[in-house]
Chain A
Amino acid sequence: MHDMTLAAARKALSERKISARELVDHHLSAIEKLDGEINSYIVTTPEKAREAAQAADAKLAKGEGGALCGIPLGIKDLFCTDGVQTTAASNILRQFVPPYESTVTHNLLRDDAVFLGKTNLDEFAMGSTNMTSAFGAVTNPWQRDGSSTKLVPGGSSGGSAAAVAAGLALGATGTDTGGSIRQPAAFCGIAGVKPTYGRCSRFGTIAFASSLDQAGPMARNLEDCAILLGSMAGFDPKDSTCVDRPVPRYEDALNRGVKGMRVGIPKEYRPDNLPAEIAALWDQGIAWLREAGAEPVETSLPHTKYGLPTYYIVALAEASSNLARYDGVRFGERVPADSLDALYEATRHAGFGEEVRRRILMGTYVLSSGYYDAYYLRAQKVRTLIQRDFLNAFENVDVILTPTAPSAAFAHNERPTDPVQVYLNDVFTVPASMAGVPALSLPAGLDHAGLPLGLQLIGRYFDEETLFAAGHVMEKAAGFAKRPALHAGNVA
């Protein structure tokens, strides 16, 4: 069962070769054995999971059950889950148990998925390392050849990525604001999809930057992601930014092939200091697509260089506002004080970690009167230019190929002390987020130390299907099969 994909498990379940209960027990025991080292889960819910598996088995026995019947998943702890602790990896919500279910997890439950627990993340999804969680850092299940140095899984969906990579879930939910699905997927050697903004409801997902946040699937391969996204996506009247258009059967797009497809290679994504092995992997990706019948075309996204700075203005402005509600008055932790202002200060100081506080302060600054025009307004204008870049590019190409991240996973203790250096991790993923276009990362190869590297495909608005088609071609060519050092199969 260790190396089973979600699709294979689903087949085995429907053929009754395994039971949902067995599958869930297997994962729960793997978590118990391994997650002490990885810390990918903040909380597990074994009883609920077994109950759900039992219900799934009952449905399977009758030949009923939804598309994910009996499939054990990890849920990023940014999704509110009814009656289950939802912390956003923050002290301020350490004890928070929502009495409601996010739409995305509701959709998964509708399709009879089984939730193993809530996965770790950077606090309030702010980070690219998963080092900012109030529940401790997540360790990447991968290790450099011949070294047991602890590596970061990427962020912010690092817990989800690590759990999937280590065999502690068949799939997981992530959220991506500037690369938080794609970058950890790349660091952990799995696939992850950030759908078009508006494709998945944000209702019940704790907000970081509302105009950018988008839920998406993380799994071993793109087929699994396609299955998961099909369940997660869809119109939700409870989210005004959620788009009312039918959800395609993404699985059907996987084998479309790429014949005649024009693949844009943006010249701006090849900076002088791009590591050689990243550049080489990118060239390899181009070659795979060409061999399968696609036509690589140089394209230009001229405003790419402004992506990161404008992202950090827009995202943090929104974050400073979205996090204002955590003030100790209604829910979450409260630090008592003599006055209301003192209560806010003490609560927010104790409740938020350093990175979150830094971002709130920066976001507050850029929105302040007197600075608004210089920062926020200008960033919004640049954002429009970035969107236009993609629209122009997609007049000539069907999909855009880039690396996912500028490096492989780095060690916990190698984390740059300069926060700006950390922010550079998102340099390739941020522009697609700013534009709201869909993008995915797939595991495409290994670096010199045996660590996974990812390639990113970016598509037109609501054209996830083309991404799946192109990605699947590359996936087959890459034949990525290596397992990480920390894996359920190695401890069983």
Chain B
Amino acid sequence: MSYRIEGATGAWEIVVGLEVHAQVISNAKLFSGASAAYGGEPNTHVSLIDAGFPGMLPVINEECVAQAVRTGLGLNAQIHLESRFDRKNYFYADLPQGYQISQFAHPIVGEGQVEIELGDGTTRHIGITRLHLEQDAGKSMHDQDPTRSYIDLNRAGVALMEIVSEPDIRSPEEAGAYLRKLRQILRYLGTCDGNMEEGSMRADVNVSVRKAGEPFRTRCEIKNVNSIRYVMQSIEIEAQRQVEIWEAGGTVDQETRLFDHARGETRSLRNKEDAHDYRYFPDPDLLPLVIERDWVDGLRAALPELPEAKRDRLEKEYQVSRYESGILTAEQAIADFYETVAKDRDPRLAANWMLGDFFGALNRTGRSIENSPVSAEALRELLALISDSTINGKIAKEVLEDMVETGDSPSVIVERKGLRQVTDTSAIEASIRAILDANSDKVTEYRSGKDKLFGFFVGQTMKAMKGKANPAMVNDLLKKLLSE
């Protein structure tokens, strides 16, 4: 099911590569001790180093390096034991030093790959070209004053990982799947929170089109797209634009473009002629970054279980389906929740309840797993009540709703509401006999072959017993009494 744009001259294939900027989770910035936390009053997380004061020097933050290495390991990528920081020189008001310290010629992480899964269940590998560390710039604020611009340097110097993919992506859907997968891995690793709304993950999208079998044509770069949906949209729109140009006999210029989602178009930001000459050279204030093999091995050993491995393990350990394992591992928190619920319980029952009623309740209340009104322990307890026949499944649904509402533990609710299942044979039998007596006509019909009425008797019995009867016992006893 390959993605094609049908033009007047035939089908066009799209070629997409993504450069994702992922903000590193760390306490301090890449080269200064200032806080890297998001938000804060403007210019409150700024050291003299971040503001480029005379004589200030960068000193690398080891935790940021560790985060980059962890990410590289999570992307099955080569870790370079020696890397280097270059200066990328350009003038911009929110770039205090007049250059950005970035890894250019020798990045810390080399080639790797990510496996993505598409809607139809097929998988593809997207190559990673490199991951490098760099400083973020500050932010210009043009809307604070009618005549002046203000600058907030809170973000200046915060560590970013730029993760560059190979031009392996062939459809908007693949781009979306790739970004979701990347975000999932980063979040599992705890190296980036993947929050695109706050700008801690953003993408530059490189798009070109070609006829099948052709070499690459000119690409355009769409800068700073800040949601997965917009990335997918911008690819569609930009590819369509390029097809129209080529088909009209024109040429696509290599340029940087902006995606305007309100208008549904991409617009030229700057073209190659006034492209920056960044004048890269090795930053003389920093020595080459040399890390030890043992240190990397230590980080590798301490890595959390990653989505793929976790998925395989869940399928094996808990007999959940491929589909279920995908949902259960979408986020580490969900998987952790599930494993807590399923511990020493029937894992199938646990999966059914998690994916069914529990997720339903979360959706209904607009909560996420992190602030779920029902803890994993509580859900686990509910399953225990089902398994030991304290309550039946139907009653359990009622109990869960009460749990969502009150936050009470299931046993408290069962006791409070007197929902304990009735397993007393004589009580059930008495109830059945009463039903059969009251419906003697239907009993006659049943006995003359109208089997479907069995369900009616079950329903009536359950209703009479306020749903608390053990359904299996009701079945058995009904069969027995009807055949008398």
A interface list, Cβ under 8 A from B: 79-80, 86, 88, 93, 96, 98-100, 102, 202-207, 209-211, 237-241, 317-318, 320-321, 323-325, 327, 329-331, 340-341, 344, 364, 367-369, 372, 376
Contacts and interface: CB of A to CB of B under 8 A. Distances in A.
20 contacts: A98-B53, A202-B285, A204-B55, A205-B55, A206-B55, A210-B285, A239-B59, A239-B285, A240-B59, A320-B89, A321-B87, A321-B99, A329-B93, A330-B51, A341-B91, A344-B91, A367-B279, A367-B280, A367-B281, A368-B279
Nearest to A331: B53
A369 B279 contact: yes
Given A203-B57, A325-B98, A330-B51, 11 more contacts: A79-B55, A80-B54, A205-B55, A207-B55, A240-B57, A324-B98, A330-B52, A364-B279, A367-B279, A368-B277, A369-B278
Contact of B54 (A86, A211, A237, A239): A86
Nearest to B31: A240
A321 B98 contact: yes
Interface in B270-314: 277-281, 284-287
A80 B51 contact: no
Contacts of A99: 48
Contact of B59 (A80, A93, A238): A238
Given A202-B57, A321-B99, A330-B51, A211 B284 contact: yes
Contacts of B51: 330
Main secondary structure of the interface of A (DSSP, over half): loop
Contacts of A211: 284
Contacts of A364: 279
Contacts of B110: none
Contacts of B54: 80, 86, 88, 93, 96, 98, 206-207, 325, 331
Contact of A102 (B55, B87, B277): B55
Contacts of A331: 53-54
A366 to B, nearest CB: 9
A372 B93 contact: no
B60 interface: yes
B55 A80 contact: yes
Interface of B: 48, 51-60, 87, 89, 91, 93, 96-99, 151, 277-281, 284-287
A127 B280 CA distance: 26
Given A98-B53, A321-B89, A340-B93, A240 B287 contact: yes
A58 B89 CA distance: 50
For the complex of A and B, 6 pairs with smallest distance between CB atoms: A324-B98, A211-B284, A210-B284, A367-B279, A204-B55, A325-B52
Contacts of A330: 51-53, 96
A211 B288 CA distance: 13
A240 B285 contact: yes
A297 B277 CA distance: 49
Contact of A372 (B56, B281, B284): B281
Nearest to B52: A325
Contacts of A239: 57, 59, 285
Contacts of A329: 93, 96, 151
Contact of A321 (B96, B279, B286, B287): B279
A380 to B, nearest CB: 8
Nearest to A210: B284
A205 B54 CA distance: 7
| Most chain B CB atoms below 10 A, which of A203, A205, A327, A368 | A327
Contacts of A241: 284-287
A99 B48 CA distance: 9
B208 to A, nearest CB: 23
B91 A327 contact: yes
A87 to B, nearest CB: 10
Contact of B57 (A96, A238, A323): A238
| Most chain B CB atoms below 10 A, which of A88, A204, A341 | A204
Contacts of A86: 54
A102 B89 CA distance: 25
A98 B55 contact: yes
Nearest to A102: B55
Contacts of B53: 98, 100, 330-331
Contact of B286 (A79, A96, A206, A240): A240
Nearest to A236: B57
Contacts of A237: 59
A463 B122 CA distance: 66
B55 A203 contact: yes
B57 A376 contact: no
Contacts of B89: 320-321, 324, 367
A364 B281 CA distance: 11
Nearest to A207: B55
Nearest to A365: B279
Contacts of B281: 317-318, 321, 367, 372, 376
Nearest to A377: B281
Contacts of A369: 277-279
A331 B281 CA distance: 25
A238 B49 CA distance: 10
Contacts of A98: 53-55
Contacts of B278: 369
Given A329-B151, A330-B51, A330-B52, A324 B91 contact: yes
A4 to B, nearest CB: 32
Nearest to B278: A369
A210 B97 CA distance: 14
Nearest to A368: B277
A209 B284 contact: yes
Given A98-B53, A240-B285, A325 B279 contact: no
B98 A327 contact: yes
Contacts of A321: 87, 89, 98-99, 279, 281
Nearest to B60: A240
Contacts of B279: 320-321, 364, 367-369, 372
A98 B53 CA distance: 8
Contacts of B91: 324, 327, 341, 344
A234 B60 CA distance: 20
Nearest to A79: B55
Contacts of B58: 240
A213 to B, nearest CB: 9
| Most chain B CB atoms below 10 A, which of A79, A206, A209, A237 | A206
A325 B55 contact: no
A327 B54 CA distance: 12
